[in-house]
Structure 1
């Protein structure tokens, strides 16, 4: 299903052969949330809100969006609901590393989280790595400027004890602080937790490095899309400058997650985890 202006949809469908066209339906919507618009613009009759509503109503199985990240997160949280105990959904990108895939989150959902939110995202990341990538006993690290205890800014120093105490699912364990190069190697952690601002900047820097080097490591593809964790459905967000291959990769990821019922399984793994007694109440969600 394509959701958007009819003339844009017609142009895309016109490039398909007749057999492919028969598989595509169109939901015409005139209003698109631009990159400069506030995320709350997604509350009206917009393309992303309509796509989310299609999943809610059972007309579609997943949402794939290359539009405003903030609008997509807002629409998904409002239209599909957030899981109990998860105030701030997280965007998780899977990066190819020397020793296997590394899940990096958050890469843009919450720009300025508090320590409790990072601890919740650690739970999401551990469960997601196990369900989506079959990682056994995922190792979870907190991104900082050094491995030594106490390294990092105020947020990192406050978050480390919260992650140490977090009841990680799937036999996950917190391995402490990790650095940027640990993400490329994959030897120290399978899941790396950080704030959405740092994660988004890091992700784009890695994408640029891949472009300069002629491509990612041979063991995996470039992180063309990220899964939104913590909402009641399958939602995938592509880069705002995504090309056709990026969108195709996002669709493939959404299909992979839906077939595995990743959202439902991850949610079930976190069902018995008690609510945070002191949740963060002043997190800053992503700007457009």
Structure 2
């Protein structure tokens, strides 16, 4: 199994990113890393050189750079890392660099899933009742009502694949639960979701995310979702503990999965520490092992069918998506 890592993405790149990558390598004997970054760092992994492939570059995309730099400059670390997935040299990619740059690179190199205009970032969060999928948490700041409906479809399929739910309850984040609450965007999306084929439970409020009782999937635009996500993270840091034990292996509070592209892409915060980078890699590795990309496509194409079995889907995986040891 090969995970590509953008070594030059993040506030403390490349050293902290490499620290996390090597920690992940130590913790998973099946893991092979494809590192996009400076050749000068090669001595850092001499002891495990047989489990590391280098994509040499000194060009990164800074947190203040325009996202388009990721696609206009072919040798940026994030683009090389994503290209490794497209070519089959890696099974998944992670980056803790600028979200916009990673999304742009993923769309350019991997392409979007049919029927989805924009990708969306999904975070699986711990909650009192059960894990909650929050989508979008920052792939795009704005959204139309049609985008929110598509976010609901992606989030529902993702919850089926990762949490094993037959019919995930989907809620739309707003300022109240009564019909008609919220701005025009929320009102239009509420009407559209109510008439769709998802298990839509209506409007939910901010506290439904950490409580987890009313919905398995909470849908919102990327701006609001990112604010909610970081507010929850700050609250957990202040409390010094999580709101619930991470009983499910897909609960990763500082890693999110990019949905709507043709491949496995995991993104983290720019301020990520080495543990957060290792967490992103662990999430990507779990997605590869369970063949999430193929299973998600199958659920989206045939939502009424039974949840695909990972072992059966692995046998049908396309080149570059199938886990390699």
Above 0.5 in TM-score?
Answer: yes
1:35 counterpart = 2:68: no
Greater shift, 156-165 or 203-212, is seen at 156-165
Q: Which residue of 2 aligns with 1:26?
A: 54
Matching residue within 252, 256, 273 for 1:226: 256
Question: Contact 1:6–1:29 at 8 Å: present in 2 too?
Answer: yes
Q: Which residue of 1 aligns with 2:217?
A: 191
- Within 5 Å, which residues of 2 pair with 1:1-288? 1-7=34-40, 9-10=41-42, 12-13=44-45, 18=47, 20-43=48-71, 44-45=73-74, 46-168=76-198, 173-220=199-246, 223-272=253-302
Give the Å deviation of 1:272: 4.9
| Cα offsets for 1:143-189 (capped at 9, x unmatched) | 00111111111211111011112333xxxx00000011111111100
TM-score (norm 1): 0.88
Give the Å deviation of 1:215: 2.1
In 2, distance between residues paired with 1:203 and 1:25?
34
Question: Contact 2:123–2:252 at 8 Å: present in 1 too?
Answer: no
Which stretches of structure 1, 4 residues or longer, exceed 4 Å deviation after superposition? none
In 1, distance between residues paired with 2:302 and 2:215?
24
Give the match's secondary structure for 2:63. Answer: coil
In 1, distance between residues paired with 2:196 and 2:114?
16
- State the Cα RMSD in Å: 1.4
Give the Å deviation of 1:136: 2.8
Give the Å deviation of 1:2: 1.0
Unaligned runs of 5+ in 2: 1-33, 304-325
Unaligned runs of 5+ in 1: 274-288
Question: Contact 1:100–1:219 at 8 Å: present in 2 too?
Answer: no
Q: Evaluate the alpha carbon distance shift between residue 100 and residue 11 of structure 1 in structure 2; reply closer, same or farther with a 3 A threshold.
A: farther
Give the match's secondary structure for 2:242. Answer: coil
Question: Contact 2:252–2:283 at 8 Å: present in 1 too?
Answer: no
Question: Contact 2:210–2:243 at 8 Å: present in 1 too?
Answer: no
